[in-house]
Amino acid sequence: MTNENNLLELKDLQTSFFTKDIEVKAVDGVTFSLPKGKTLGVVGESGSGKSITSLSILRLIDEPGEIVGGEINFKGENLLDKKETEMRKIRGNEISMIFQEPMTSLNPTYTVGQQINESYMIHQGLGKKEARERSIEMLELVGIPSPKKRIDQYPHELSGGMRQRVMIAMALACNPDLLVADEPTTALDVTIQAQILDLIKDLQERLDMGVLFITHDLGVVAETCDYVAVMYGGQIVEYEDVKTLFNNPKHPYTVGLLNSIPPNDHDIEGDLPVIRGSVPSPADMPEGCRFAPRCPFATDLCREKLPELETDEHGNQIRCWIYTDEWDGDPEVNVDDERTSKSY
């Protein structure tokens, strides 16, 4: 899967949390790639391991968590081999992150200008005056009105949309090669959400950076992403380019997620389709396929044995027994037929 055109490659990434009695595998063998200048959406329900994967990439896992295996190759170098002093130079400079809720990420005791200035002063060695000038330029770039006034304001004096724009300004201050956006529009209303997504897309094209977009919103993925990785139970279950995934999804879980998107072209009649059950706890995973307890196609094989993640010649990935020679169910089954069903 190694490719010189890939900005980021995860290979069998494993991140666990340790208690006195057990090891909880929050990320269990995640493998995917992100080409340079492209956007990869990582989707799945809460508890599927999306955010832990993103934090692992920046090596921001705190005790009792630990990255216990695999590789995180960024621009051809494994970040797990880097010393912490080297990672500090990479974070915020070559790799930046936008977090879900800006009020918990911005320091309430410092002005937004002081917080953006820090990136320039630490990573680019600028003085206070020059850093301030660059920060004003960045606030203007992300669409904040009256940047010379806003730069001296505190986070609580700004609206939610403006705070999120400040977070983007901080993340992009040093022109990173990779932007990790962990559900950056979750707390925003629909209008502001659209503006933020357009802003990220526009800045990506200007700066030619790769974007890893963590989200549960497949509508956002369809609008912004080039590739999609679907996570479930700490693992990748499907990875494809966005057009292929939406037109011809293969994994039953992916189909269930697509079914759950409310139609916007006509009135909804009856109940919305749902995926019955819930995501299993990382501390109590099923013995076989992790989706088997919720899957309408599950057989004894699915419930007893975990399928491997298979990769084709185009780099697309699928983790499902249906697409193997060992499948013991209906040989004529078509998972995509379930997209029109009312229950799942």
One-letter amino acid at 132 equals R
* Alpha helices, H only, 64-189: 84-90, 102-105, 112-123, 128-141, 147-150, 160-172
Cα separation, 228 vs 145, in Å, equals 34
Final residue before a domain boundary, out of 144, 173, 202:
173
Domain span holding position 126? 102-173
Q: Tokens representing 196?
A: 């933020």
pLDDT profile of the chain (344 residues), mean per 10: 79 94 93 94 93 95 95 96 94 87 80 92 89 92 90 92 87 89 78 82 87 89 93 96 93 92 63 84 91 95 95 88 91 76 47
Rounded to a whole number, what is the distance in angstroms from the first to the last CA of the chain? 34
Same domain, 257 and 168: no
**Is the pTM value of this prediction over 0.95?**
no
Q: Does 112 map to a domain? A: yes
Residues near 253 by Cβ (< 8 Å), separated by ≥ 6?
230, 232, 237, 238, 275, 291, 294, 295
Please report the pLDDT score of residue 264 as a whole number.
62
The C-alpha torsion from 217 through 219 and 225 to 228, rounded to 10°, is 60
Q: Does 211 map to a domain? A: no
Please report the pLDDT score of residue 41 as a whole number.
96
φ and ψ at 10, to 5 degrees? -100, 135
Final residue before a domain boundary, out of 173, 194, 227:
173
The domain total for the chain is 2
Sole residue written with tokens 């990785």: 229
Q: Does 300 map to a domain? A: yes
